[in-house]
Amino acid sequence: MLTNPNGADAPDGRCDPVAVTRASFGRTRAIHRREFLLAAGLVVAAPSGRLLAGQAGSYDLVIKGGRVIDPAAGLDAIRDVAIARGRIAAVAVDISSGGPNVIDARGKLVVPGLLDVHTHAGRSADGPRAILRDGVTGWIDAGSQGADRVADIVAVARSAPQPGRVLINIGRAGILPAGDTLDVANADAAAAREAIGRHRDLIVGVKARLSDTVAGSNDYEVLRRAQDAATAFGLPVMIHMGQSLSPLPKLLPLLKRGDIVTHMFAPPPSSIIDENGRLLPAVLDARRRGVWFDVGNGVNGHVRWDIVDLVMKQKFWPDTISTDWNTTSPTTGVVDLPNCLSKLLNYGMSVPQVIACATANASRVFPVFKDRGTLTVGAQADVAVLELRDGAFEFEDNYKGRITGRQRLFPFATVLGGVPVPRFS
C-alpha cells in the first residue's frame, strides 16, 4: 500500500509522510472541508454520509474514467472526478456529466495538481505557464535572487497563473557564477529581513546554498545568517547541500523543524552517507527532528545513481521530489516533474508513493499549499492528468550516468481552479 518505510526510523511517526497524511492529516482536512461545503450549500450529505452533488447536472467539468490516485485520501481506484465552482464536487464511480465539459481520462492517472517545492520558475516570465502544462499547479522559486533583486522574482510569482512563492537567497546578489557568498558580506541578514518585510505575502523562506564553490569556508556562517533572517519571521530555511567544505554533521544541527534539505542525493564530499555508504546518524536525527529531505534534481552535482541506490536501499526515502527547474530543463535530464517522479520508480517506490511526494507531502511543507495536493471533496480543483507509459525509458543523472526504467509518467492535461489548461498555449 502506501506505507513509507521511513516510519521505522521515526518513532514519532513524523517521518512516515504518506501514512501520517492518510491516517490523520488528510482525514482531518477532509472533515473540515465537508463541514465547510455543507455549510456553503455546495453539496448535500446523503443518509449514508456520502456526499452527492447538490444539483444534477450542475458540474462544470467531469474527468471521467481515470485511475484516481489521491494519497492524502488513501485513494487509488478508477473513479470520475466532478468539479463545480472551482472545487472538487464529487469523486465517485460513474458520475454523469450533465454538461458538455468532459475530459476522457480512461487509461490515464488523475492526481492532485503537482507541487514543485524547488524550481527557478521565477527567473522567467514564461516559467510558471510552462510548468503548468507539465501538471505543476504550485511552485516555489528556491533562491534565484537575494535582497537586491528579489522583487523581480516576486513580480513573476504575483502574475503567475498558479500559486508561486519565493525563497530569498541569503546572498543579497542572488545566484552568482563566482559564488553567492564567497564574500561573506553578501550573506546580509539585515538586507534579507528588510526584503522579506517588503514582500511578506510572497516570500515564504530563505535559501542558503552551501557548496564549496558557492559559499566556500563561509558555509556555516552563511547558514547561521540565513536562520537569523528566517526565524525573525517564523520561516523555514532550505539548504542546498552537497560538496560543502563543512561536513553535514556540522551543518545539520543548525536546522530546525520545518527546514528543508535539498539535493539529498548529492555525492561526496559532504553527502548524507559516510565513506562506507551508511546514512549519517546526524541525517537520521535531522529527519526525526522534523527536517524535510527533498530531491532537487537539477543538472549539476546533485544526483548520482549509485548514491540514490545506496540511500534508497536504506529506506531513507525523499519527503518531496522536486525538479530544480529552469527554462533549459525540458532539454536536460530534468525534462519535467513527472519525469523526475518516474526516476524513483526504479528504486523501490510505487506510483502512489512518488505522487505523494509531489502532492500530499509537498502540501505540508509550505502553508501556501495547505489546501492543495488532494482531490478530496471541497478541495481546490487543481488536477494533473498523467500518462503512465510502459516501455524502456532512459534516465540520466547529473554525471552522464544512465539507467533504463520500465515506466515513465508523462503530462497529459492540467486543470487549474476547475479550468482545463490549453496544452500548447
**CB closer to Zn ion out of 88 and 142:** 142
Stretch that binds Zn ion, among 135-143, 167-175, 248-256, 307-315 (CB under 5 A): 135-143
Q: In 74-214, which ranges are E strands?
A: 75-84, 87-92, 102-104, 109-112, 114-119, 136-146, 164-169, 203-209
Instruction: Choose one: 49-57, 88-96, 121-129, 318-326; the region binding Zn ion (CB under 5 A).
Output: 318-326
Kindly tell me which of 116 and 324 has the beta carbon lying closer to Zn ion: 324
Beta bridge partners of 88: 83
* Residue 285 main-chain phi, psi, to 5 deg: -65, -40
Q: In this structure, what DSSP letter does residue 294 have?
A: B
User: Is the Cβ of residue 241 or residue 279 nearer to Zn ion in the bound state?
Assistant: 241
**Minimum distance between the CB of residue 324 and Zn ion, rounded to whole angstroms?**
4
What's the Rg (C-alpha) of the chain?
21
Binding-site size, Zn ion (CB under 5 A)? 2
Piece of 101-109, 137-145, 330-338, 390-398 that binds Zn ion (CB under 5 A): 137-145
Is residue 265 classed as helix, strand or coil in its secondary structure? coil
Write the interaction track for Zn ion spanning residues 142-161; mark x where CB under 5 A is met and - where it is not: x-------------------
Nearer to Zn ion, 324 or 336 (CB): 324
- Rounded to whole angstroms, the Cα distance separating 201 from 1 reads 38
d(CA 24, CA 34): 15
C-beta of 142 vs 355, nearer to Zn ion: 142
Residue 7 to residue 19: CA distance in whole angstroms: 8
- Ranked by CB distance to Zn ion, the top (closest) residue is 324
Closest by alpha carbon to 263, among 224, 300, 220, 221? 300
Residues 60-119 binding Zn ion (CB under 5 A) are none
Convert residues 323-342 into a mask of x (bound to Zn ion by CB under 5 A) and - (unbound): -x------------------
190: which residues sit within 8 A by CB, 6+ positions away?
A: none
Q: Min. distance of Cβ 328 from Zn ion in angstroms? A: 13
Phi, psi values for residue 299, rounded to 5°: -130, -15
* Choices 72-80, 184-192, 286-294, 320-328; region in contact with Zn ion by CB under 5 A: 320-328
* Nearer of residues 242 and 418 to Zn ion, judged by Cβ: 242
List residues near Zn ion by CB under 5 A: 142, 324
